[in-house]
Structure 1
Amino acid sequence: MGFAISWLAVSGKDPQQVLQELQLHRTGETEEFPESPVSAAQLPTGWFLVFANRFASPLVADRSLQQLSAGCTVISCQVEEHVMFSSVMCYANGKNNWHVTHDAQEGIYHLSVSGDLPPQFNDIYASLKQEQDDSGGDKSDVDYIHDVPVSLAKVITSFRHDQDIQGGPPEPFEALASSSSPASAKPWWKIW
């Protein structure tokens, strides 16, 4: 089994406003790991995290990130380990400022980048590329380049989907539910 997840973290906007804009509400149910379809956590670094147990969640679609990033910064990350795909994007004030994407189906060293990348990118990439080279390059059984977007997202927000939240409570995640009024109405992002 591997992860197939999406998440976003917001800095500069009140968590309740984030949930309202995403048409989500708190349930009061907490969990140690994000096992609910959608959950949230306040990170010790100040970022507010919304986590979806689904790859390519509509929550991290371009439209959602553009709208949500009005007046703040949003980092989004997606991971699909079954095909070794990972990406991280930064939106601020309604615009995509940069992105880093790895798709092993395009090649073990594949990395698509655009925008004004954070300064940490170069060190992360150089280190993981060296590990890939040292492990046999494109003949290796390990894909270190897959970690470039994931590691960059962690350096910025402090969150990594496969690690505990350091400095947080024992059950840092709170399950979220749709805020739609009628039972039949679904928010624009909800497909499951």
Structure 2
Amino acid sequence: MAMGYRVSWISVAAKAGANVLAELGLTDSAQPVPPGTVPVAGALLTNGTYVIVFSEFFHPMIDPLLMKVLSLNCIVVGCAEDESTNASMAFLCRDGARVWTVSHVLSEGGDHLGIEGVAPRALAPLLQAALQSRAEHGHDAVFGVPAALAEEVCGFRHGGRQNGPAPVFTRLDRKFADIDATLGELVRAAAAVLQAAGYVQEDASRPGLFTKTTEHERIQVYLRHSTTPEIGVMYFDVRAEVCNRYVDGLMHQAVPQLHATQTAVLRWSGALDGDSALTTPAEVAACRSQLQSAFSPWLTRLHDLVALEALVNGRMPRGNAMEEATQQCHYDGDTGYSRLILAYLASNPRFEDMVVQTERALSRGKPDPKSDLNKVCNHLRAHAKPVSRATVR
């Protein structure tokens, strides 16, 4: 290795190389390269371990949280060395947890070796030998201890001698040649659907916000997006905030002082049971396809009280070990009692159960017939008529 090198690498055991690349948002170019001469290179070792070498110290891809996720159902060993500052570290993650980390920073002292977690027994003789070498020759021998420990555990060391044939490294690329441009395509596709549906951008300083106002409601749709270029991941989803004047009016008629910011707050990705994180071209293509085929019908449902109620209350409440499902509260600070009003208007057969659940959660065992909840529900029963699918807008 050249003097003053900066490098980091990870070794993944018990997980196929293709799966490792998929999780990290990388593709194999199949072009052979010496490791460390390109930003990212990968190779399969004879023992079945897949190794990725990065041409910089502590590459963003070996972020501790990301490495914990990568280590699910496998073992990840990592190492980073910066010869220009004599700083080095090694770690091992297994099944989603960091097991140990060993690090050396010369500025902390020639004998410095930080240890977190439970390090392998092999560390003690490696450190003893390094300290003896430093005492005899005066050089920073502890600098090499983390890399030597990583090699002891996984059988690989960047620049070290490999047992058997030398592994063939190939250049690895991010799955998205230009992640920002790819994300821009999704945003433009969503914006086109919104504009075709009559949504407009009222605030030039907020290009991701689209609004549609009718005599019945005001709907604001936010296109939310971001990227993490260093690991080839983009995030895209849609948040819709619906303020229905009829629903809001019923609430105020029942209790004038009540104020709900919105009737419903919904996420597009949540409605499709999707994940806002896109890490592969296939996921991007699927998202674009959904925007083209399903986004417009979803927007239409926001104007239909029955369809809107299904989006809001369609999923059954979940219970847990400490709380039965019947404890579910259908009131929150943003939408107030709108979920219950929608349920009544849409003739949801669970309406009365939802009222009981909400009262139980809000009253904490002390029901109050004069509570805002009961005022709203009594007003609905006395003055509001459920709508039918044939009459909804």
- TM-score when scaled to structure 2? 0.45
Does 1:89 find its partner at 2:129? no
Per-residue CA deviations over 1:12-65 (Å, capped at 9, x if unaligned) read: 111100000000000010124441110001122322101100112111111210
Note closer, same or farther for the CA distance 1:94–1:63 as it changes in structure 2 (3 Å cut).
same
Answer whether contact 1:34 1:173 (CA < 8 A) is retained.
Answer: no
Which of the two has higher C-alpha Rg? 2
Which segments of 5 or more consecutive residues in structure 1 lack a partner in the other structure? none
Note closer, same or farther for the CA distance 1:66–1:81 as it changes in structure 2 (3 Å cut).
same
The residue that corresponds to 2:45 in the other structure is 43
The residue that corresponds to 2:21 in the other structure is 19
The residue that corresponds to 1:29 in the other structure is 31
Note closer, same or farther for the CA distance 1:69–1:88 as it changes in structure 2 (3 Å cut).
same
Answer whether contact 1:76 1:88 (CA < 8 A) is retained.
Answer: yes
The residue that corresponds to 1:167 in the other structure is 164
Note closer, same or farther for the CA distance 1:150–1:90 as it changes in structure 2 (3 Å cut).
same
Q: Which moved more, 1:7-16 or 1:156-165?
A: 156-165
AA aligned opposite 2:106: A
Residue aligned with 2:228, SS? coil
Aligned positions of 1:1-192 closer than 5 A = 1-135=3-137, 140=138, 142-169=139-166, 172-180=168-176, 183-184=179-180, 185=182, 188=228, 190=230
Answer whether contact 1:12 1:73 (CA < 8 A) is retained.
Answer: yes
AA aligned opposite 1:173: F
Q: Tell me, in whole angstroms, the C-alpha distance in 2 between the residues paired with 1:127 and 1:38.
A: 32
Residue aligned with 1:146, SS? helix
The residue that corresponds to 2:362 in the other structure is none
Q: Tell me, in whole angstroms, the C-alpha distance in 1 between the residues paired with 2:84 and 2:128.
A: 25
Residue aligned with 1:172, SS? coil
The share of aligned pairs that are identical, in percent, is 26
Answer whether contact 1:43 1:158 (CA < 8 A) is retained.
Answer: no
AA aligned opposite 1:87: M
AA aligned opposite 1:166: N
Answer whether contact 1:43 1:165 (CA < 8 A) is retained.
Answer: no
Q: Tell me, in whole angstroms, the C-alpha distance in 1 between the residues paired with 2:112 and 2:44.
A: 33
Note closer, same or farther for the CA distance 1:35–1:101 as it changes in structure 2 (3 Å cut).
same
Give the C-alpha shift of residue 117 in structure 1.
1.1
Q: Tell me, in whole angstroms, the C-alpha distance in 1 between the residues paired with 2:72 and 2:108.
A: 33
Q: Tell me, in whole angstroms, the C-alpha distance in 1 between the residues paired with 2:10 and 2:44.
A: 12
Answer whether contact 1:39 1:52 (CA < 8 A) is retained.
Answer: yes
Answer whether contact 1:77 1:87 (CA < 8 A) is retained.
Answer: yes
Q: How many residue pairs get matched? A: 185
Q: Tell me, in whole angstroms, the C-alpha distance in 2 between the residues paired with 1:120 and 1:189.
A: 37
Note closer, same or farther for the CA distance 1:181–1:53 as it changes in structure 2 (3 Å cut).
closer
Q: Tell me, in whole angstroms, the C-alpha distance in 2 between the residues paired with 1:128 and 1:46.
A: 30
Which segments of 5 or more consecutive residues in structure 2 lack a partner in the other structure? 184-226, 232-393
Q: Tell me, in whole angstroms, the C-alpha distance in 2 between the residues paired with 1:182 and 1:103.
A: 36
More strand by share: 1
Residue aligned with 2:142, SS? coil
Answer whether contact 1:58 1:189 (CA < 8 A) is retained.
Answer: no
- TM-score when scaled to structure 1? 0.89
AA aligned opposite 2:174: S
Whose RCO is larger (CA < 8 A, sep 6+)? 1
Note closer, same or farther for the CA distance 1:51–1:60 as it changes in structure 2 (3 Å cut).
same
Note closer, same or farther for the CA distance 1:160–1:82 as it changes in structure 2 (3 Å cut).
same
Answer whether contact 2:150 2:157 (CA < 8 A) is retained.
Answer: yes
More helix by share: 2
